[in-house]
Chain A
C-alpha cells in the first residue's frame, strides 16, 4: 500500500501532465484571485500547489452548489417525472492539489451520506474519483487541522499524497489501495522508487509542518466542556458581530444542508438541490411563523455545537476539520476556533 516515488519538480510536472492528458482532471484554477477546482485540460491552467487560504473547498465536486435532482413534464394527462441528464461529476476522474483537511472533509461527509438514505449521486462521485493530495508545507493563519480528532500525518482521506520534502525532493506516496493501483498504472515516468529514507523525509516534513501552527487547542477538553455548555451566555458576545450571511457554511468542506426547489418554464421543469445554511435567520422558520433560532447567538450555538459535539456524538467523527476556510472567508473574520475556545474557556 505504501508505494513511494521520489522525483523532482520536473518529474512531478510530467506526472501531472500525464494524468491530465489521460483522465478527466480537476485542479485548482485561479478565478478572481481565488482558486477553485475546475476541469482542466492543461497543467498551465491550474496550480496544484495553490495556497490554502485562497483555495475554495473541493466539496462542490461531490456536493455541488446546485444540482438537478429530477425533471418533470406537464401535459393534459398530468405530470411525468423523469431522470435528469447524465451527472457531469459522475465520470471517472482525478482531482489534483486537494489539501489534507479538505480530503478529510469528504471522509467526514461520507458518514452522513452512507447513513440511512444512501445518496447514490454522491456515492458514485466518490467511488469514481481519485484524490491526489498535496501536503501543505506551512500552516495558514487560520489552520488548526492538527488539533482535532484525526491523524493528519497518516490520513487516508486521499488516495495519493505529494510531499515537498525538506531535502528538495518530491515524494509521491500512495495511501489507499485505489491510490496504489493508480500509481502503478500511471507512474511510467517516475524513475526512483522511494525507500525507508523517503518515509523518514516525509515524517520530517510533517514535523516541520506541524510546528508552523499558530492555532492549537486541546480537542478532547473542548469537546467535553462544550457538551455541557448549551446554555452558555458566551455564545452571545462571540457572535455579536456576525452578519448572518451564509458564507461560512457554503465555503465549509463539511457543511451539507441543502434545499429543494423547482424551476419551471412553459410546461417543463427541473427540481434542484442547492446549498442552504443554518446561519441565515429564516433557515428554521416554520410554516406557522415560529422560529426556534431567531437570534444570532442561537444560530452560532447550533453551528459550533454541530461542528464540535453533535456530529461526533452521532457519527464518531468531528465535523469540523480545521481548515480555517470559514474564518478566512468570513466578512467579519469570525473564527470557529475562537468561538469554541472562548465558550469552552
Chain B
C-alpha cells in the first residue's frame, strides 16, 4: 500500500490549480521507519509526502481550526479517517467545499511492533466513505467483529475488571493527548476543563481520571470511528480503545447496528432514537 507518488501528484495539481491553502499528509521520520503528520503550505515540500502502511495518524484531526484555520485543505484519509471526517462534516465543523479529500482504500496499517494493527484487523469499513478522489481498490464493507479484548475482559470477574480499570484510571496523567488527537473532540473548550463547570476536577486522582475518561468516552459513544488516534497518542500507553469499543458494541447490538460516520447526515446514536430500542433493562 504505497500511494506516495499519486499523492504527491495530486498535491502538486491542487496547489497549481490554487484549490487549497494547506495540504495535510505524512512525512517520513528521519531516524526510523515511522511517519508523522505533515502540514504543508509550500509546494516545494511536496516531495516529502509519503503514504504507506506506516501512515497511522487520523489526519482529519488537522481540520480543527487551530491547525488549518478554516482554510481550504487537501487531505489524505483512510477508511476510518473518512468516517470521522464524515461526522465532522455532519456536525458542521468543516465545510465540504473547504476540503479536498483523497480517500485511500486502506489495506490496514501497522502497529509499533510492525504487525497489522488490531483496529485494522477488526475494521468494518476500509474504504473511504467520503472523498473527491479515491486511490486503491475498494474492498467493501465488512462484517462487524466484537473486539477481542472486550470479550476477554467481559469474561473476567467483576472485581478483577474493577481492579484492571482502576489501574488504568490511576495511570492516566490527564495530559489530554487522547482528546487533542481525536478529530471528534473539537469543542471550543472541553467540558472537563471548564473551571466554572461542575465536571471540572482539577485534581488528578484515580477518581478524577475515571470521571474524565468516562465522560470522554460517553461523549464519543456512537461517534467513535475506532481510528485509535487516542491510544497511539497516550504517553502512558493506556488501552483507551476498551471504553470506546465497549460502547460501540452496545450501540451496534442494540440500536439498529449503528456505526458512527458511515452515512452522510448521521449524527451518532445518541441523537436519534427508535421506538423499539431495548426497554427490558428498565424496571
Contact = CB atoms under 8 A, between A and B. Distances in A.
A52 to B, nearest CB: 14
B167 interface: yes
A114 interface: no
Of B180, B229, B239, which is in contact with the most chain A CB atoms at under 10 Å from its CB?
A: B180
B180 A245 contact: yes
B200 interface: yes
Interface residues of A, number: 39
B180 A241 contact: no
Contact of A141 (B32, B61, B180, B232): B32
Residue of B31, B39, B57, B175 with highest tally of chain A CB at under 10 A: B175
Contact of B39 (A31, A241, A275): A241
B136 interface: no
Interface string B151-181: 0000000000000000110010111110111
A329 interface: yes
B6 interface: no
A121 B213 CA distance: 30
Interface residues of B, number: 42
Given A244-B180, A247-B235, A282-B189, A260 B62 contact: no
A204 interface: no
Interface string A234-260: 000000110111110111000000011
Contacts of A261: 195, 200-203
Contacts of A240: 39, 67
Given A141-B32, A246-B175, A247-B235, A31 B167 contact: yes
A181 B75 CA distance: 62
Contacts of B233: 243, 245, 247, 331
Given A66-B205, A329-B235, A244 B66 contact: yes
A263 interface: yes
A65 B238 contact: no
A65 B39 contact: no
B204 interface: yes
A262 B67 CA distance: 33
A213 B177 CA distance: 28
Given A241-B38, A247-B233, A274 B204 contact: yes
Contacts of A280: 176, 193
A277 interface: yes
- Of the candidates B177, B237, B239, the one having the most CB atoms from chain A within 10 angstroms of its own CB is B177
Contacts of B237: 32-34
A333 interface: yes
Nearest to A334: B36
B235 A241 contact: no
Contacts of B181: 243, 245, 331
A86 B264 CA distance: 56
Interface of A: 31-34, 36, 56, 65-66, 141, 214, 240-241, 243-247, 249-251, 259-263, 270, 272, 274-275, 277, 280-282, 296, 329, 331-334
14 contacts: A32-B238, A65-B204, A66-B203, A66-B204, A241-B62, A245-B179, A245-B181, A247-B235, A250-B174, A251-B175, A259-B202, A296-B66, A332-B36, A332-B37
Interface of B: 29, 31-32, 34, 36-39, 57, 61-62, 66-67, 167-168, 171, 173-177, 179-181, 189, 193, 195, 200-205, 208, 229, 232-233, 235-239
